[in-house]
Amino acid sequence: MLLPLVIFIVLVLILDLYTYKGLKLTFRKPQDKSTIVLLNSIFWAIPLLLILSVVFMLYLRPAEPDPCIFNLNFYIIGFTLVFYLPKLLFSLFHLIEDIVFLVRDLSQHAITFLKKDTNGEFTKRRSGMNYLSRTGILLSFIPFVAILHGVFIGRFDFQVINKHIEFKSLPASFDGFRIVHISDFHIGSFCRYTNRVEKAVKIINKQKPDMIVITGDIVNNFTAELYEFTDILSELYAPYGVYSILGNHDYGDYFQWESNEAKEKNLDDMLVVQEEMGFRLLLNEWDSVVINGEKIAVIGVENWGLPPFPQYGDLAKAMEGAENVPFRILLSHDPTHWDAEVLGRTSIELTLSGHTHGMQVGIENSFLKWSPSKFKYPRWGGLYREEEQYLYVNRGLGFVAFPGRIGMPPEITVIELRSGS
């Protein structure tokens, strides 16, 4: 643990020293000594605060599962990105400039030596010619502002996305049936932000859903994250129920428990709390929704993902007895499950997933849909269709790791089922 920390500190200081050197060459030195001291103090306070925060999280933080303490990890990531991504961008431009000046100086030294001209003049001094460094400074404001916006505004900018999907096999009584699909709440990330969760719940209920589904990752690491929000989440209402499944974060696999018994109790508590909130948690099983004697099946599998993500899901077990139901909805946290076991291998009409978050960074508009998530997940966000089978990947309502969202707002999806010919 010590060696990675040392490497981290060295890299941070190298970047800061090079940035400091670049800024000194780019800007004129202030005449007032107190101004110099203030600027230097601000500049070097940033790496000092970052290093102290990392040391605290590695060696000094409490061992008990406190969601607010663990959120410091996320804010350290945010702090690092907001300051060091711009520094890195500036340093790249300054490095190119340094190389240009180095090549120029070496060339002129060579020419002077070959001409044996000891009085040869070099071109203008470097001051006033820092065009690349100045460009780097201007461009570095783009990630700085984007990250700040994502942290303070983007992560709470809940967006409602409406989708109408037509199915030949949908019973007529379910024509117009409205499903609110949410995923990846990562509720621990909202520690002390109960007002934001209240806002999300109000938006969800305002959609007047017939059914609500939550496709996993309701917590980050442990069930205790839910306790601050159980009363609020209990307000979620749909006449045909609130269904949920478990995602990879919900099993407690990412926390170092003091014993296997403690980890098992954490999972048992998860089942109890979801039941107390009025959620119907589907664990490799299915339930039926009946309107006017017509039925659809809601199938829920436990997490199934490609390594390193766990594969607790058992689709065959979950579907037992649902073979003759005319229309089936599968809740499966990881969208890779659709390609691996659902598409072409079953006749499940609609699969609802989450997991990807769209990497919480991307661009989506009428002309462009892009996220770095696409490099890992071919189906990372939105609606996908292969013949008569559909997959919808929700981009997540919460956030984890990076405490923000840039161009990839938290999503509340309203899916209206239509009966087609």
Domain ranges of the chain: 2-152, 160-419
DSSP β-ladder status, 389-393 and 382-386: antiparallel
Q: Distance (Å, rounded) from C-alpha 135 to C-alpha 145?
A: 16
Token couple for 91:
């340093």
The number of angstroms, rounded, from the C-alpha of 282 to the middle of its chain's C-alpha atoms is 25
What is the pLDDT, as a whole number, of residue 129? 65
Instruction: Report the percentage of the chain scoring pLDDT > 90.
Output: 79
Residue 245: name the closest of 274, 214, 222 by CA. 214
What is the pLDDT, as a whole number, of residue 122? 43
Number of helices (H), then strands (E), in the chain? 9, 14
Report H helices in 116-233: 131-152, 194-206, 230-233
The number of angstroms, rounded, from the C-alpha of 193 to the middle of its chain's C-alpha atoms is 18
Q: Distance (Å, rounded) from C-alpha 393 to C-alpha 369?
A: 14
C-alpha dist (Å) from residue 165 to 141, 180, 186, 349, 392? 42, 13, 28, 11, 10
Collect the ranges in the chain with pLDDT lower than 50: 118-124
pLDDT tens-digit map of 361-375: 999 988 899 999 999
Token couple for 193:
């932000």
What residues form DSSP beta bridges with 364?
369
**CATH superfamily for domain 160-419:** Metallo-dependent phosphatases (3.60.21.10)
pTM of this structure: 0.91
What is the pLDDT, as a whole number, of residue 126? 57
Going by C-beta distance under 8 Å and a sequence separation of 6 or more, which residues neighbour residue 239?
210, 211
Token couple for 244:
């949920």
pLDDT tens-digit map of 177-217: 999 999 999 999 999 899 999 999 999 999 999 999 999 99
Going by C-beta distance under 8 Å and a sequence separation of 6 or more, which residues neighbour residue 220?
67, 70, 186, 187, 188, 189, 249, 254, 400
